[in-house]
Amino acid sequence: MSEQKAIQDQIPGNHCFGCGPENERGLRIKSYWDGEDKTRCEFLPLPHHNAGPQQYLNGGIIATVIDCHTVCTAIADAYRQAGRDPGTGDKIWYATGKLEVNYRAPAAIDKPVILEATIIERSNRKTLLHCTLYSSGRVCATAEVVAVRVPDNW
Ligand SMILES: CCCCCCCC/C=C\CCCCCCCC(=O)SCCNC(=O)CCNC(=O)[C@H](O)C(C)(C)COP(=O)(O)OP(=O)(O)OC[C@H]1O[C@@H](n2cnc3c(N)ncnc32)[C@H](O)[C@@H]1OP(=O)(O)O
Domain of residue 146: give its range.
Answer: 7-150
Cβ neighbours, 10 Å, residue 148:
15
In a domain, residue 12? The reply is yes
Closest CA to 96 of 147, 144, 62: 147
123 backbone φψ class: left, alpha, beta (φ>0; ψ -120 to 50): beta
The atom of ligand 1 lying closest to the CA of 68 is: 15
Note the pTM of the prediction, 2 decimals.
0.96
CATH number for the domain that contains residue 97: 3.10.129.10
Q: What is the ipTM of this complex?
A: 0.91
How many domains in the chain?
1
Q: Which residues line ligand 1 (CB under 6 A)?
A: 11, 13-14, 16, 19, 67-68, 71-72, 75, 91, 93, 95-98, 123, 125-126, 146, 148, 150, 152-153
pLDDT, tens digit, for every residue of 44-80?
999 999 999 999 999 999 999 999 999 999 999 999 9
What's the CA dihedral at 95, 82, 32, 97 to 10 degrees?
Answer: 20
Q: Does 80 reside within a domain?
A: yes
